[in-house]
Structure 1
Amino acid sequence: MAAKIKKGDRVVVLAGKDKGKQGAVTQVLVKANRVLVQGVNLVQRHTKATQADPQGGIKSKEAALHVSNVAIVDSKGKPTRVGFKIEGDKKVRFAKTTGEVING
């Protein structure tokens, strides 16, 4: 099945502690049905000092969100569902709210 959310898409969080926040998808974890969104769902990790990071300490990093908890943002800034249609000989994604083709 084709991916409805891809790397680089602008998404909004629909549920959880960061509900309403927007960000760009940095990574899609296909097998786990999860996405990493820039600046959203930050968790703190306690890291031990290593040669690469001699300081160690408490670091913030993004945790994965389930794809059902995010939605693509359309050109008007509203969350939208994604559909597929054939244009010419290519299968393209489009926003269900506006009908516009989504780049990528």
Structure 2
Amino acid sequence: MKRIKQGDEVIVISGKDKGKQGVVISLENSGKCLVRGIKMVKRHTKPNPQAGIQGGVIEKESLIDLSNIAIFNPSSKKPDGVSVKVSENGKRYRVFKSNGKEIKQ
């Protein structure tokens, strides 16, 4: 089970965006993810009238390594670790390491 999933609220713990919060947009198999509003880069694009694309400078999110982010714990308002627990019926669920509360999906 993945410790960070799409839709989780995370905090950047290292890098130029340290301390910023965002929501995970997508996860990559390479151990990286896209976080809304984090690690913004500028891309120069050519205009393509056939596809309706206007040229210019576009600002968008870039991939950030999973080791540089931590899940946000709303009860403590701090970054927190994730642990995976198994219930009696065999179902696995994620919990915060600091207080043991289940992470909402």
Q: TM-score, normalised by structure 1?
A: 0.92
Residues 40-73 of structure 1, C-alpha deviation per residue, up to 9 Å, x if partnerless?
1000000011133442100001001000000000
Which consecutive residues of structure 2, in runs of 5 or more, have no partner in the other structure?
Answer: none
What corresponds to 2:101 in structure 1?
A: 100
After TM superposition, the structure 1 = structure 2 runs for residues 52-91 of structure 1, keeping only pairs within 5 Å, are 52-75=51-74, 76-89=76-89, 90-91=91-92
Structure 1 residues 83 and 61: CA distance shift in structure 2, 3 A? same
What percentage of aligned pairs have identical amino acids? 42
The alignment yields a C-alpha RMSD, in angstroms, of 1.1
**Runs ≥4 residues deviating over 6 A:** none
Residue pair 1:74, 1:98 contacting (<8 A) in 2 also:
no
Distance 1:39 1:74 in 2: 19
2:33 pairs with 1:32: no
User: 11-20 or 53-62, which moves further after superposition?
Assistant: 53-62
Instruction: Give the aligned residue type for 1:9.
Output: D
Instruction: Give the aligned residue type for 1:77.
Output: K
User: 46-55 or 65-74, which moves further after superposition?
Assistant: 46-55
Instruction: Give the aligned residue type for 1:49.
Output: P
